[in-house]
A and B are shown apart, each in its own frame.
Chain A
């Protein structure tokens, strides 16, 4: 499963992304997680087949614009990261991991 995070600059999400990758590894789920800024995510979506696009909470006011722009990618799950699941610490990222698995399985 390929997951992309998008935040303002792609820097703060990179840390949470790395942690999420570790949690997924521990749970034996194959997951690659990458983080990009709002100026790059579309280009990256075109390059690779992503399954999930997660929008960081601090730019949730841009969610509608991002979701619309990602409409053309078939089967891409686009979600906001809930604010209480967004920090590069194990217990918090675990919640995020479960959140993603639930969204993907219910799609």
Chain B
């Protein structure tokens, strides 16, 4: 039975499904959002500065409280308006994938996205663009309008309805003329939709996406991607990369809502499960919560192969890199090790989710680089809650316990193989 399952996992499930995630538009959305990660990471760190994890009456905390508006400015201009950046990236990637000019595509996507937001006149400062929908809550609008803009560009590039320059004209000049027609069409269409028809892009898409967003923050909304990601990795395919293509926009909306609430000084954040929740309270040591396995291999294994593997995989494992383990053990298509590889993250997810819904540990709202060792990442992600370190360590212990019986079977088998080899 297990053999049949392995064949299914490899041939029917993982490879065809992963290929789906390589669909052009999904790929463009993925690359566009991934390109904003540095902006999100750096921007969100200013929140730690604004609410430093020190006693409230200390000099540092008092200074921060006094200057909070200024301290948060870098955050407001980076993460707080991340959909604006994502929109450019999506437009760029998608037009590149069609062999169209990437810069024109990126610009056109931004134009289309900005035209969903109506500027206002404010006293003394003149025209102002309301920023709220430029952030994570506008992500799905940015995705839709960016794709819309580039598709128009592509349609027009195929028709005769475009301006083509003679060959003598320098290519950069020619390019900007070629972008004239699609820009005119996009601007006119967006004006009709947003201004003439007064279509509320953000209200409408928020309503459509609301069920998906709220489901993704439930325990089932957490367990489902965890199962998918571990199954992909069980077949040796980068699960987070595949599932993230589809799920990351949703995770980003959750993260943005939490960060925005934290910037307003909220005590309890609205969501439990933005991406850092998976990173620091489920994927201990990498996908599959393999930190337990790597510790067991490095320190208690008896066979020579297990020991060497454990020592090789230990250092990267502490920084959440576990490919050496996944392909070295291997866990890939290994009926013994796949069981804890799926099970350990599920248990960690349930425990951490319950602990956070009971408000025993702060909820994550800061995107820390994923290669930080677990406890440090957990501490930063929750804006400096020491109890997050405890929870992270508890998850590591759970991982060790869950992997132990399977590790034993694995190690004994290696030992047996080594003895046979010696005898021969």
Contacts and interface: CB of A to CB of B under 8 A. Distances in A.
Does chain A bind chain B? yes
Interface of A: 7-8, 11-13, 15-16, 39, 56-62, 64-65, 83-84, 86-89, 92
A16 B324 CA distance: 8
A8 B241 contact: yes
A31 B31 CA distance: 32
Given A58-B237, A61-B22, A89 B328 contact: yes
A7 B242 CA distance: 13
B414 interface: no
A15 B22 contact: no
Nearest to A58: B238
Contacts of A87: 309, 312, 323-325, 327-328, 330
Interface stretch (B13-21, B111-119, B272-280, B374-382): B13-21
Given A8-B238, A57-B236, A61-B242, A15 B332 contact: no
Given A89-B328, A92-B328, A83 B236 contact: yes
Interface in B322-340: 322-328, 330, 332-333
A14 B157 CA distance: 41
22 contacts: A8-B241, A12-B322, A13-B323, A15-B312, A15-B316, A15-B324, A16-B324, A57-B237, A58-B241, A58-B323, A59-B241, A83-B236, A83-B333, A84-B327, A87-B309, A87-B323, A87-B327, A87-B330, A88-B312, A89-B308, A89-B312, A92-B327
B15 A12 contact: no
Contacts of B255: none
Contacts, number: 74
Given A57-B327, A89-B309, A83 B332 contact: yes
Interface of B: 15, 18-19, 21-22, 27, 31, 34, 233, 236-238, 241-242, 308-309, 312, 316, 321-328, 330, 332-333, 371
B147 to A, nearest CB: 19
A62 B22 contact: yes
Given A8-B238, A58-B238, 10 more contacts: A12-B324, A58-B236, A59-B237, A59-B241, A65-B27, A87-B325, A87-B327, A88-B312, A88-B324, A89-B324
Contacts of A56: 323
A57 B234 CA distance: 12
B327 A83 contact: yes
A65 B22 contact: yes
Given A89-B308, A89-B309, A60 B324 contact: no
Contacts of B242: 61
Contacts of A7: 323
Given A62-B22, A83-B236, A12 B312 contact: no
B137 to A, nearest CB: 27
Contacts of A11: 316, 321, 371
B373 to A, nearest CB: 15
A87 B330 CA distance: 9
Contacts of A15: 312, 316, 324
- The 4 residue pairs across chains A and B that have the minimum distance between CB atoms: A87-B328, A61-B18, A12-B323, A58-B238
Contacts of A83: 236, 327, 330, 332-333
B326 to A, nearest CB: 8
Contacts of A65: 22, 27
A24 to B, nearest CB: 19
Contacts of A12: 316, 321-324
B125 to A, nearest CB: 39
Contacts of B21: 61
A61 B22 CA distance: 8
Among A13, A56, A61, A84, the most chain B Cβ lie within 10 Å of the Cβ of: A61
A65 B316 CA distance: 28
Contacts of B316: 11-12, 15
Contacts of B236: 57-58, 60, 83
Nearest to B20: A61
Contacts of A62: 22
A60 B27 CA distance: 15
B15 A61 contact: yes
A58 B330 CA distance: 13
A47 to B, nearest CB: 19
B321 A61 contact: no
